[in-house]
Amino acid sequence: MKQTRDTAWWYWLASAVLLVQALSGCPLGFTPVIVLTLIQTLHFWIREGGLDPRGLAAFPVQVRIGYLSWLIAGLADPTGLMHGIQLAGTSAMVLFGYCPMARMVSLLPWNRRQALSLRLVVRTFLQAPTAGNIRIQAN
């Protein structure tokens, strides 16, 4: 898939770099990547709905809220495993256009039209990247 280097891609690239720094023991820790994710979330919220609370339901905003939630939850993980997984997912987004967080968010009840099943989960995660990260299928 040909990647476009849009604003979102640059945000994810910067997030990956900041995650590497945090995981490498940077004195600032995870603060820079958390701040960048807050800025990114606010940017997409304004872009999608202009701070209207309904803009929070926009899929790109949900993905960034999920990413921020994972970042914060990972602070309680002394092994660093959650942030390691997050770095792998962010790297997949930057390098291949495959966004695991978008795929997870697409499985939330309000984002799908079919019952949650193992088949749906497998199809969601194994589907090749597309423009917009995921393609919702009817079956």
Q: Where are the domains of the chain?
A: 7-98
> What region, left, alpha or beta, does residue 25 occupy, with left being phi > 0 and alpha being psi -120 to 50 degrees?
left
In the predicted structure, residue 129 carries a pLDDT above the cut 70: yes
Paired tokens of 53: 């609370």
Percent of the residues in the chain that have a pLDDT greater than 90, as a whole number: 78
Least confident segment among 53-57, 58-62, 71-75: 53-57
Q: Is 100 helix (H, G, I), strand (E, B) or coil?
A: helix
d(CA 67, CA 73): 10
d(CA 30, CA 37): 11
